[in-house]
Amino acid sequence: MNDDPTSLMLLDHVAVHHPGQLDVPNRNATFAPDSSLKRLPKFIDYRKLGYVTPVRNQVRGSCGSCWAFSSAGALEGQLMKTHGKLISLSPQNLVDCVSENSGCGGGYMTNAFEYVKENQGIESEDAYPYIGQEQQCAYSTAGWATSCRGYKEIKEGDEWALHAAVAKVGPVSVAIDATLYSFQFYKRGVYYDRNCNKEDLNHAVLVVGYGVTNKGKKYWIIKNSWSEQWGNKGYILMARNRGNFCGIASLASFPVM
């Protein structure tokens, strides 16, 4: 395993495709915050609530599988919320079996959720372990861990809707621009770099909460899939309500159980 951030920097440039490059499910299931959500909690951290599994490492085999880790994380959160069970789900199951995506070449989280719905299941990590390269789909109901009824998307670029979804629903899958050195070598604090390109979505991560610092800086709590050696034990705090920074609300979605 190579945890040098310079090697990580090359990993995910093609891990999230732009519209038109892959078959995307119809954008007809949009999350609509209701009026009761006008006053949201100031802080939420789903790690402390038991909704989040340990940080994992997608680097094995240099596979652009961030979309699978993000999708699995969102499914894990909903499994905990709905059934009270926290189980590590299988990104490898998604890499191998979501035919609408490109495996280690990238993909959409919504395609992953659609697969889990149509397949009526996803296996656990223990049953279908991660190897970091594409192989023939080997899904088995013997390793079944959970399923979903579909998914909902956040209105493109709407950070308020993303805020409401995280508060009401749980962890949410998002795509960002992760190509800058400032992101690659992040260690602490609320990350903001005006050079981050919200139009270039190239890496999928998981929003597991939000908050505000003592100095008033609002942030998203982001779980990455580059091991605990990256960032702050595998996490980064990204600037919130700074004009859809890094495109964080441009391709956000979550599964429905």
| pLDDT tens digits, 213-243 | 999 999 999 999 999 999 999 999 999 999 9
Q: Is 224 a catalytic residue?
A: yes
Strand-pair partners of 209 = 45, 221
Q: Compute the distance between CA of residue 64 and CA of residue 43 in angstroms, rounded to an integer.
A: 32
Closest CA to 161 of 253, 45, 27, 31: 31
Catalytic residue among 104, 148, 224, 246: 224
Q: Which of 20-34, 58-72, 153-167 has the lowest mean pLDDT?
A: 20-34
Q: What is the mean pLDDT of residues 3-7?
A: 37
Mean pLDDT of 179-185: 96
User: Domains of the chain: which residue ranges?
Assistant: 5-30+40-256
Look up the pTM and report it.
0.90
How high is the pLDDT of residue 33?
79
Q: Report the distance separating Cα 191 and Cα 219, nearest Å.
A: 8
196 carries an active-site annotation: no
Q: Band of the pLDDT at 20, cuts 50, 70, 90?
A: very low
CA pair distance 176, 196, nearest whole angstrom? 9
CA distance 223 to 206: 5
Q: What is the token pair recorded at 8?
A: 């990580």
Number of residues in the chain = 257
pLDDT in tens, 85-106: 999 999 999 999 999 999 999 9
User: Quick one: DSSP state of residue 89?
Assistant: B
Task: Could you please state the CATH topology (level 3) that the domain comprising 5-30+40-256 is classified under.
Answer: Cathepsin B; Chain A (3.90.70)
Q: Among the options 63, 66, 97, 148, which is catalytic?
A: 66
Angle ∠(246,20,23) on CA atoms, nearest 5: 110
Per the annotation, the verdict on 111 as an active-site residue is no
